[in-house]
Amino acid sequence: MIVESAPVDESTVILAIETSCDETAAALLMGSGDVLSSVVSSQVDLHARFGGVVPEIASRTHLEQLNPVIAQAIVEAGIDETRIDAVAATVGPGLIGALLVGVCAAKALALTWEVPFVGVNHMEAHLYAALLEDPTLEFPLVVALVSGGHTMLVEMQGHGRYRLLGQTIDDAAGEAFDKVARFLGLGYPGGPAIDDVATRGDPEAIAFPRAMRNEGLDFSFSGLKTSVINHVRKHPDVGTADVAASFQAAVVDVLVTKARRAAALVGAKGVALGGGVAANSRLRAELRAACEDDGIRCFLPSRAMCTDNAAMIASAAWYRLRSDGPTPLDVGADPNLKLPLLP
């Protein structure tokens, strides 16, 4: 059964749910950009002692946390649930057990309230995070999506119109931060730990390799991780802060060089960052400087909008509901869902 949607406009209220990885989140959005509430319950402390996300723990914790998180989002929005016009959830990509918790909850609520269900692609939602915080951003926009699972340069030509310009051929940038931090004994998640330690080190102390820096728009980070390990094994007295700072400088150099190249190639009006690694202080500073040099806009979302949240899911859902209508209830969760690209 598909519940037909009322016209989608700036008064449409969407409840969105995000459970693709280790954040349990719910948000209410009115129209394309008015965030009424956004609640995120992070499980990071539960997974930290295992050095990474444990899928089984993630699914169980979503089950425990989701109802209270949804209830809190509705209370904080200050509206009655009868005002909700559609219920959206991330359908992929992500951990299958984790995704299923949010998808089942969203479908159940949509059926109960007799409103449309909207299945959302998590990567598309990350693209919308920047636009949600700054609706004045213009297309074509290059979004550098850098998280624990993805490193992509995407050209947003318009709503729902994406071209993949480049991506990692091995490790994601965040994965490299996490693996190097683990090797250096800095704990999990590694990105914030390296960012912090690097402030006390010299980014030029060690000339780590910049793989594929001078050609194309794809990335490779696994060789860099191996270089760090080899360097530390060969020089056991090297300072951790210098290693962290030099590693971070290598990752950021490649990311900024390629984002800039991508923007020039497509004649982008600006570059936006997205994903957890977008919180990195050196990446933010270097990208801002590069965009200033090139005379294009640079958009650096807030930390809350870089990491997983349900407000960005609601925003992507609003545009999808407007363009495609409700999602059939037999659409399932897909752990490998791809970003819908232009042919």
Q: Which residues bind Zn ion (CB under 5 A)?
A: 308
Task: State the nearest-atom distance from the C-beta of 279 to Zn ion, in Å.
Answer: 12
**327 part of the interface to ligand KG4, by CB under 6 A:** no
Dist CA 131 CA 123 (whole Å): 14
301 binds ligand KG4 (CB under 6 A): no
Q: Which range binds ligand KG4 by CB under 6 A, 146-154, 260-268, 291-299, 310-318?
A: 146-154
Least Cα distance to 17 among 309, 304, 306 occurs for 309
- Taking alpha carbons only, the member of 232, 301, 229, 222 closest to residue 254 is 222
Q: Select from 134-142, 183-191, 200-208, 327-335 the region that touches ligand KG4 (CB under 6 A).
A: 183-191
Binding of residue 203 to ligand KG4 (CB under 6 A): no
Residue (of 129, 160, 133, 159) closest to 144 by Cα position: 129
Beta strands in 34-116 (DSSP E): 34-42, 86-92
Cβ atoms of 131 and 260 within 8 Å: the answer is no
Rounded Cα distance, 12 and 112, in Å: 18
**Binding-site string for ligand KG4 from residue 3 to residue 32, where x marks contact by CB under 6 A and - marks none:** ------------------x-----------
Q: Which is nearer to ligand KG4, 190 or 270 (CB)?
A: 190
Mode of pairing for the β-strands spanning 86-92 and 34-42: unpaired
Piece of 3-11, 76-84, 99-107, 144-152 that binds ligand KG4 (CB under 6 A): 144-152
Q: Which stretch binds ligand KG4 (CB under 6 A): 159-167, 172-180, 294-302, 322-330?
A: 172-180
Q: Which residue is at the shortest CB distance from Zn ion?
A: 308
Say how far apart CA 81 and CA 104 lie, in whole Å. 18
Interface residue with ligand KG4 among 124, 155, 195, 286 (CB under 6 A) is 195
Instruction: Kindly state the smallest distance separating residue 5's Cβ from ligand KG4, in Å.
Output: 29
CB of 331 to ligand KG4, least distance (A): 22
With tokens 């995120």, the residue in question is 40
Among 128, 162, 177, 219, binds ligand KG4 (CB under 6 A): 177
What does the H/E/C string look like for 101-136?
HHHHHHHHHHHHHCCCEEEEEHHHHHHHHHHHHCCC
Among 203, 276, 301, 326, binds ligand KG4 (CB under 6 A): 276
Angle at 57 between CA 121 and CA 39, to 5 degrees: 55
Using the rule CB under 6 A, is 102 a contact of ligand KG4? no
Closer Cβ to Zn ion, 242 or 308, answer by number = 308
Closer of 133 and 195 to ligand KG4 (Cβ): 195
The helix (run of H) or strand (run of E) holding residue 252 is helix 240-266
- Least distance to ligand KG4, CB of residue 43, Å: 11
Question: Which tokens hold the place of 87?
Answer: 């219920």
144 within 8 A of 272, measured Cβ to Cβ? yes
Binding site for ligand KG4 (CB under 6 A): 21, 147-149, 174, 177-178, 189-192, 195, 275-277, 279-280, 307-308
